[in-house]
Amino acid sequence: MPCGVVGAGNWMPSALLPALRVQTGCAVVGCVAGGLEKAESFALEMEIGRAFDRVEGMLADRGAVAIVHSASPMGLAPSPARAAYCAPKAVVVSLTRSMAVDGAADNIRVNCVCPGIIRTPMLERRFATQRDRNEACRATVERPPIKHLGRPEEVAASIACLASDEAGFVTGSALTIDGGIGAA
């Protein structure tokens, strides 16, 4: 089944895509550059425009298609003083649901993953800017009820599941992968 991943986070290319390609065998994998550093007034237009560009290429193939967008838990429940980051993520979640409804009759499933705190080079760079790197890391690890940071491979496994035939009845869902932060 052709599948694709359209991300809305700048951590995806270096941290997730290698694991994702191995686990899913996706025919098409794309990424939308974005994230906190680029959360400007144009972020919404850019992310959604790129998402549609990626999806159009996939739909030319037709047949059964699984699309998995990547957003953030902050697209489901915003955080204070993060509007420029949260709004584009919420739009990706809404886009996922709208595309799922529109594509269902053509056997196109569209879902979304919302990864939380994932141990990536970007997160390590953020720790490095803190006065006490070790304390920043410890405090971050304590946030999820599971008490460890997510790994790119865990996100890739969730995407692989959503892209698989075993999830053939799953569409329009936003899967939160955050170690329980959103549930707490």
pLDDT in tens, 19-78: 555 554 444 344 433 333 333 333 444 455 555 555 555 555 556 778 888 889 999 998
Distance of CA 5 to the CA centre of its chain: 8
Most confidently modeled of 2-6, 33-37, 76-80, 132-136?
Answer: 132-136
Most confidently modeled of 95-104, 129-138, 154-163?
Answer: 129-138
Residues 6+ apart with CB under 8 A from 45: none
Which pTM value belongs to this model? 0.75
Query: Annotated catalytic sites, by residue?
Result: 85
Residues 6+ apart with CB under 8 A from 179: 116, 117, 143, 144, 145, 146, 147, 148, 149, 150
Q: Which position has the token pair 């707490």?
A: 184
Q: Give dist(CA 110, CA 32) in Å, integer.
A: 16
The pLDDT of residue 37: 37
User: What sign does the CA torsion over 81, 178, 18, 112 have?
Assistant: negative
